[in-house]
Chain A
């Protein structure tokens, strides 16, 4: 915007061409294409950042704190985000509030696919971030980012409403830095949804099907991929064995040496 040409004093013109040039200079706003886009970006992002509509979708305990955030004390509507939509079609932001279980994750992926672009994902709490206190469970997904692209992580178990609001402010900052030049939803070509994971004997991502087949067929390959971790007990036992060996080898090493005859 800063590049607008300043109005200049009226000058007399000599030829028609000069006159035309003068007219163009005066009434046409000359700027660069980039600048226009910057301007549009600013307006566009300003509008988007102040009306992020989350999807009303609670998974577990964190959802209660999400409700508290939207209630009177913390008042999420200060950010223009109070409209929790029940339908993914109307939502911009998926707040994954709670433990993502294997049984639930196909539905979550489907909901994400149903949301219209631009869409964002906020992982609220330890569970949605990485599995949280239930990480070792056989039905728990270690973080929603195993399946969805996450924009903001909010730590805590549960995060306080203040923390969630801070996370939302971070999301606003992220929106501020986006530009219509390179956002994915204005790129040409069809965007494919994320394939829904399949609930088989255990959950699997269809994109990894080939890899899974390959590895289950070759157990030795699979074995090689796991890190062998010593437990404390194993470590102790190994140490003991080593010490024993040392102790055993010491006299053996000492034995061949004939005792020095005492010098007289």
Chain B
């Protein structure tokens, strides 16, 4: 197979900034009637003009908004609003927000899948959760809930079976002991509710949801293989959790793969909108449960953007140290997990997990919990480092982790079987990687030098000296190597941070159990080990977020699975899936 050369990024002089005013002017110059209104929160586009504007923004060389960061929707009392965050890979900078107003009676927008293929899963999610239809979407079906589920859960007027009140803290759980368990509150004594017309004795679920490994287009003529639909998962040792892959195969060759998601859909966003801002912090731990510290950081960034607080120096350093340690252990475990998928059962993984335990001990001593750290607060961190912590960390960073990483590299990278099975497998070309909105090592493995830490430097990442490694082929091997190289870079950052960390405060202001967040909206993001983790928050000035949306990198990355896997053998599918490093907690939320 021809080795695809890395496409050199087109040298575009930054003629434009991501300033909404100038962008709106340029849109107006092209389509005078397209812009409805403009504010610091975003540019509101007329509904019927959306695909034109998106295409213009993507293709105009001066703008080149070629990357769709995030797509979501907000339910306002009088309308729905679909929000698109766009940015430019070559230029970097904060994303701009495009908005489209949709009426409540017949919510329809035209689909952006022809322009940004990364919109595919996200539009399906919006359809599933809000009931907004996307005209022209190739496969508009529910994605997280099952087909046949009643209601659109993220609409404000949808009440779940255990509904108590609009916002926490619930008045029903008050201090004089009036709390009643949720089961007693619900007439079914369970987390269910049924429409009055349900006939449970004869109910048949829609056909698609029954798991049938059926044969498609059976034509028994001569000896030739027919296409077979094979279900992998949701319980399968190599799907990394409860993921189901509906795979159509011809013999051993994959013809099509469709990930079926939602088996771990835990209603993160609905619960998040009932919670107060601070109550969401522990929930972010459970998004990507391998990297709780990094999730905390991204969420803190988003809320701090709204609040406008400044984080003290020491807290910034502590945050960076925690996040980079997380990156090291997440990537080191992946090196082992990928080998697991290749059939080297558990041995390489044990090397990664051994180091992980050492870092988890560090986390436990600062945060109190090994995995679910819940450590960061708005404007700082929860606790200062205990005595001797920095020395222990220093030892790991200077001596132990680099040594083990080198050792793993020596054993794993040169392995002949490994190379044979990963090189030129699951290739994702550069332009597709961008168009599909992939992020993190998947994007960079395809040769795109884009890292949020550099594109929109947050926290104190602009102070450190580190490189952004990129792959050349965009195959499984490159994505594996990305993890290896990124771990080296993280160790570099850690060394500098440990040297520079100052003494001082760890929190701005005093500790509060409830923060005041001014009215407004913000899209805050951080570079997680899996990619760009973004939080889109809308605040109406109350202690609870009005809208809380998580841009989950694993979820959007998975959209490319079909692209990568078609034409390969079934055994390669497992390896390709492993190279994403998906964590279902984040995919399904």
A-to-B contact residues, CB < 8 Å: 56-61, 63-65, 67-68, 71-73, 86, 98-99, 101-104, 107-108, 111, 131, 133-142, 146, 157-158, 160, 198-204, 206, 208-210, 212-213, 215-217, 219, 222-223, 225-227, 229-233, 235
Contact = CB atoms under 8 A, between A and B. Distances in A.
Contact of B270 (A98, A138, A216, A225): A138
B354 A71 contact: yes
B146 A103 contact: yes
Interface stretch (B183-191, B517-525, B560-568): B183-191
B444 to A, nearest CB: 25
B161 A59 contact: no
Nearest to B183: A142
B198 interface: yes
B244 to A, nearest CB: 9
B198 A56 contact: no
Interface in B49-82: none
Contacts of B165: 231
Sorted nearest first, the 5 A-B pairs with minimum C-beta distance are: A137-B267, A232-B171, A201-B150, A61-B289, A209-B200
Given A200-B203, A213-B200, 17 more contacts: A57-B235, A59-B242, A60-B289, A65-B371, A72-B353, A72-B354, A104-B234, A137-B267, A138-B158, A138-B160, A139-B265, A160-B370, A200-B200, A209-B201, A213-B198, A229-B172, A235-B178
B350 interface: yes
Question: Which among B242, B371, B585 has the greatest number of chain A C-beta atoms within 10 A?
Answer: B242
A198 B205 CA distance: 7
5 contacts: A102-B191, A201-B150, A204-B200, A225-B188, A229-B185
Interface of B: 144-146, 148-150, 153, 158, 160-165, 170-172, 174, 178, 180, 182-201, 203, 205, 209, 234-237, 241-242, 262-268, 270-271, 274, 282-283, 286, 289-290, 349-350, 353-354, 356-357, 370-372, 584-585
Contacts of B234: 104, 107
A71 B350 contact: yes
A226 B186 contact: yes
Given A65-B371, A139-B265, A158-B372, A226 B194 contact: no
Contacts of B195: 201, 216
Contacts of B370: 65, 160
Contact of A104 (B144, B183, B242): B242
Question: Which among A101, A135, A141, A225 has the greatest number of chain B C-beta atoms within 10 A?
Answer: A101
B200 A101 contact: no
Contacts of B162: 135-136
A229 B267 CA distance: 25
A256 to B, nearest CB: 38
Given A199-B146, A200-B200, A227 B185 contact: yes
A223 B267 contact: no
Given A61-B371, A198-B203, A213-B199, A138 B263 contact: no
Contacts of B183: 142
A64 B371 contact: yes
Nearest to B352: A71
Contacts, number: 198
A214 B178 CA distance: 31
B191 A131 contact: yes
B344 to A, nearest CB: 15
Contact of A142 (B190, B236, B267): B190
Contact of B584 (A60, A67, A136, A200): A60
B29 to A, nearest CB: 46
Nearest to A71: B353
Nearest to B179: A229
Contacts of A198: 200, 203, 205
B237 A56 contact: yes
Contacts of A135: 162, 182, 191
Question: Which among A60, A111, A212 has the greatest number of chain B C-beta atoms within 10 A?
Answer: A60
Nearest to A88: B235
A101 B263 contact: yes
A110 to B, nearest CB: 9
Contacts of A60: 241, 264, 266, 286, 289, 584-585
Contacts of B264: 59-60, 98-99, 101, 104
Contact of A136 (B172, B197, B274): B274
A201 B196 CA distance: 11
A42 B286 CA distance: 43
Contacts of A232: 171-172, 174
B198 A200 contact: yes
Contact of A107 (B187, B235, B262): B235
B271 A137 contact: yes
A202 B150 CA distance: 7
Given A65-B371, A103-B262, A226-B185, A210 B201 contact: yes
A202 B194 contact: yes
Given A103-B146, A134-B271, A140 B209 contact: no
A154 to B, nearest CB: 15
Given A101-B265, A216-B198, A202 B353 contact: no
A72 B358 CA distance: 12
Contact of B187 (A210, A215, A230): A215
A129 B162 CA distance: 17
A63 B241 contact: yes
Contacts of A111: 235
Contacts of A222: 187-188
Given A64-B290, A135-B162, A199-B146, A219 B196 contact: yes
Question: Which among B184, B349, B585 has the greatest number of chain A C-beta atoms within 10 A?
Answer: B585
Contacts of A217: 196
Nearest to A65: B371
B414 to A, nearest CB: 24
Contacts of A61: 286, 289, 371-372, 585
Contact of B153 (A138, A216, A230): A138
Nearest to A158: B371
A209 B200 CA distance: 5
Given A103-B146, A157-B372, A225 B289 contact: no
Given A59-B264, A134-B267, A202 B149 contact: yes
B200 A134 contact: no
A108 to B, nearest CB: 8
Contact of B267 (A107, A140, A230, A231): A140
Contacts of B584: 60
A131 B267 CA distance: 12
Nearest to B169: A232
A229 B178 contact: yes
A227 B184 contact: yes
B326 to A, nearest CB: 13
B411 to A, nearest CB: 16
Contact of B200 (A57, A212, A230): A212
Contact of B194 (A72, A101, A157, A216): A216
Given A202-B194, A204-B192, A233-B171, A73 B354 contact: yes
Given A86-B237, A216-B198, A226-B186, A67 B353 contact: yes
B27 to A, nearest CB: 39
A99 B290 CA distance: 16
Contacts of B171: 231-233
A203 B192 contact: yes
